[in-house]
Amino acid sequence: MSRRPGFVLLEDGARFDGDLCAADPPAVGEVVFNTAMSGYQEAVTDPSYAGQLITFTYPHVGNYGVSAQATESDRVHARAAIMRAAVNREDAPGAEGGWLDWLAGCGIPAITGVDTRALVRHIREQGAMRGGVFPAELSEEEARALVEAEPRMDGRDLAREVTPGEPIVLGPTGAAALDYVVDTVRELVGERPVFGICLGHQLLCRAVGLETFKLRFGHRGANHPVKDLQTGRIEITSQNHGFAVVGPDGETTIAGDEPVRWQTDFGTAELTHLNLYDRTVEGLTLRDVPGATVQYHPEAGPGPHDSLYLFDRFLDAIAAAA
């Protein structure tokens, strides 16, 4: 596949040059990063990446090609892929095509040769922000205008755009933009066992009266350590979210490893899981009604599967409530 010069431009003016290697740009949205070493096809087809450009921190992306089995939905939802060293192999076992050929066929721009380490450090220091992938012939002034025209992520209801029907809710939208779903969840709490995953975690927490906030740069990848406070076990988890739940006293991080408690509209809630990167809330259980949440993905495609036991816990809760 032919390549030509291009660049990534962030809304604060930071520029990172590289070579365009898939569909023609421009592509604009929120620029985020994913720390997984594999699962690139799963990532771009995950509806939670709607409206976002994914920067892959692992240097080589595309080593094992693409296949229909690795798709997480019916289409690509990410707006672009930003990489250090893109690979277009289709001779790996199980591959049905090359990564870059597939992206181009899906109409998704991509750029390689980018100093992704510098880009990710910039996002970590300054926070996730709007940006875009552009051809080199486009002026920075024109590119900046396209970036500034893109709506910010806060308050956007992208769930409606990516959800194939009701009442399933997917997308990078924070729960604060989904009050109509929160109201529905609230009607179920105490009536049926409820288990919230990722955005569902935030929806259930808001339904019982807790608050959420936008993280500086989010948690995205398949190598995030989380501590199960009930067992003391450390799980390696798959994560993809930009918002988190506020702690019991209004704090955004939890200082210790104790199972702190909230007083909610439905009784007591207790912290069960804690993120060991930044000590944000990763899960809780409702003590007075059957319900629990985790911020990460125990179903994890393509993995890891350290947290599959959570589904057994939920089935036990259903049996106990029957």
Answer whether residue 218 is part of any domain.
yes
pLDDT at 140 over 50: yes
Angstrom distances, CA of residue 222 to CA of 121, 168, 242: 19, 23, 15
- What is the rounded distance in angstroms from the CA atom of residue 56 to the CA atom of residue 87? 13
How confident is the prediction for the chain on average, in pLDDT? Answer: 92
pLDDT class for 143, splitting at 50, 70, 90?
Answer: very high
The structure tokens 């898939």 sit at 22
Give how many domains the chain has, as a whole number.
Answer: 2
**Domain co-membership, 201 together with 297:** yes
Query: What is the identity of the amino acid at 10?
Result: L
User: Residue 171's pLDDT is what?
Assistant: 45
Answer whether residue 154 is part of any domain.
no
**Domain co-membership, 163 together with 144:** no
List pLDDT tens digits, range 31-79.
999 999 999 999 999 998 999 999 999 999 999 999 999 999 999 999 9
Look at the alpha carbons of 145, 43, 85, 92 in this order and tell me if their dihedral is positive or negative: negative
Contact (CB, 8 A) for 76 and 99:
no
User: Residue 301's pLDDT is what?
Assistant: 72
**Domain co-membership, 204 together with 125:** no
User: Residue 178's pLDDT is what?
Assistant: 78
**Domain co-membership, 203 together with 239:** yes
**Domain co-membership, 143 together with 163:** no
Contact (CB, 8 A) for 83 and 115:
no
pLDDT at 1 over 80: no
Which range among 106-115, 143-152, 168-177 shows the weakest confidence by mean pLDDT?
A: 168-177
Domain boundary among 85, 116, 149: 149
What range defines the domain where residue 242 resides?
A: 159-321
**Domain co-membership, 184 together with 266:** yes
Answer whether residue 82 is part of any domain.
yes
pLDDT at 159 over 80: no
**Domain co-membership, 203 together with 105:** no
List pLDDT tens digits, range 249-299.
999 999 999 999 999 999 999 999 999 999 999 999 999 999 999 999 998
**Domain co-membership, 24 together with 98:** yes
**Domain co-membership, 130 together with 174:** no
Domain boundary among 149, 181, 213: 149
Determine whether 273 is an active site residue: no
User: Residue 161's pLDDT is what?
Assistant: 65
- What is the rounded distance in angstroms from the CA atom of residue 30 to the CA atom of residue 79? 9
Determine whether 198 is an active site residue: yes
Contact (CB, 8 A) for 86 and 112:
yes
User: Residue 180's pLDDT is what?
Assistant: 84
**Domain co-membership, 130 together with 235:** no
Q: What is the CATH number of the domain that holds 197?
A: 3.40.50.880
Determine whether 141 is an active site residue: no
Of residues 90, 150, 161, 299, which has the active-site annotation?
299
pLDDT class for 153, splitting at 50, 70, 90?
Answer: confident
**Domain co-membership, 89 together with 185:** no
pLDDT at 169 over 90: no
User: Residue 299's pLDDT is what?
Assistant: 87
Domain boundary among 149, 184, 214: 149
pLDDT at 163 over 50: yes
Of residues 30, 198, 235, 282, which has the active-site annotation?
198
**Domain co-membership, 8 together with 106:** yes
Answer whether residue 225 is part of any domain.
yes
User: Residue 95's pLDDT is what?
Assistant: 95
Q: What is the CATH number of the domain that holds 96?
A: 3.50.30.20
Answer whether residue 240 is part of any domain.
yes
**Residue from 218, 32, 232 nearest 119 by CA:** 32
